[in-house]
Amino acid sequence: MRPTTAMRAALSALLLVGGWATASAVPASAAGSPSRSPEPPASASLLASMRHDLGLTQSQAEARLAAEKTATAVEQKAKRAAGSSYGGSWFDAGSGRLTVAVTRGANTGAVRATGATVRLVQHSARQLDAAKARIDALSAPAGIGSWYVDAKTNKVVVDVVTAHRNDNDVRAFLARARQAGPVTVQETTEAPQTFAAGTVGGDPYYTGNVRCSIGFSVYGGFVTAGHCDQHTGAVYGWDGSYVGNFQGSSFPDNDYAWVNVGSGWWTVPVVLGWGTVSDQLVRGSAEAPVGASICRSGSTSHWHCGTVLAKNETVNYSQGAVHELTKTSVCAEPGDSGGSFISGDQAQGVTSGGWGNCSSGGETWYQPVNEILNRYGLTLQTA
């Protein structure tokens, strides 16, 4: 239903600025951000959300945020130190440190000097990425959910929908996939799907007969999911007023788009907290590592948190495969598509799709925001 008068007033401050989207809870170093006075690692409401969704105590949530911020900074240094021996990396919540996989011959001392833990593996990230690229070239049947490089297992993981695991076309696909390189197969209960929804009242924006969520503000507009573009041109806000038009979109293969903003609407670097947490300022787009906590706030299911599970995953939607998505344990529901994933004050990506819901749980993928900015030459609006 549509918001109450009081809620509309609050939403207008966000929606008229193109900031209605999703949010996350992991602070990361702001790339190129100016130095500022020390500030708390997170607001009390943000920490409360992490306690609720991740089962952490107050002190555990604070410690994890601090450790993840350090891991984000360490990841790029460690990757450079490992060079061609780099096999991937992930944040370990138990130890609070980043683990970096390397092949034989790596300068492990230089990698450890960055603050990372080192694990010896057989295959480099370059070899695994090449194997995944060969699988990307295959035509996947509906029973295949997704595939991605998993640094922990040092293999390409292929997700198969349990109900289709014995289908002949699934078996044939897996046989070809195993020829591409080191592959392991795991089962998933549901096939991924996008999170667009039919038109209903009280939500961020409409286009054609679809409702989606605004992602991050950029100078001149906002970014969102490509599958939300119904090629009808116009985009309307929650109150039915005209906002702008899709200026570019891609789906499938990618799942990103951007919309220009005008007609009395404007943009600010804010992500809506939906009253669960305070509205979040966006200060940059430093990429959080695998294993880090992350949160999302969409127009349907509002604010939820989880962890980053995998990067550069190919997801096999019914409309076609989408590449280079990031998988999370955060739930989402129809209408959340396009909304923002944010790690602390760092923008991460826009909601693409997933499986499950926010009652029983599930997984959600997002399109990394930096790829969208680079594709269209956009500049993220930051505080």
Give, to the nearest 10 degrees, the angle between helix 125-136 and helix 168-180. Answer: 140
Query: Which residue in the list 53, 150, 255, 345 is annotated as catalytic?
Result: 255
Query: Which residue in the list 123, 227, 302, 304 is annotated as catalytic?
Result: 227
User: What does the block give as tokens for 151?
Assistant: 């640094």
Q: CA 351, CA 332: separation in Å to the nearest integer?
A: 9
| Overall residue count recorded for the chain in this entry | 383
318 is catalytic: no
Q: Which residues pair with 212 in a beta bridge?
A: 205
Q: Say how many Å lie between the first and final Cα of the chain, rounded.
A: 32
255 is catalytic: yes
Q: CA 19, CA 334: separation in Å to the nearest integer?
A: 19
Q: CA 66, CA 204: separation in Å to the nearest integer?
A: 33
304 is catalytic: no
Query: Which residue in the list 124, 249, 293, 337 is annotated as catalytic?
Result: 337
Q: Give all strands (DSSP E) within 199-331, no chain letters.
A: 205-207, 210-212, 217-218, 221-224, 234-237, 242-250, 256-260, 270-271, 280-281, 293-298, 302-317, 320-328
Q: CA 108, CA 32: separation in Å to the nearest integer?
A: 29
Catalytic residue ranges = 227, 255, 337
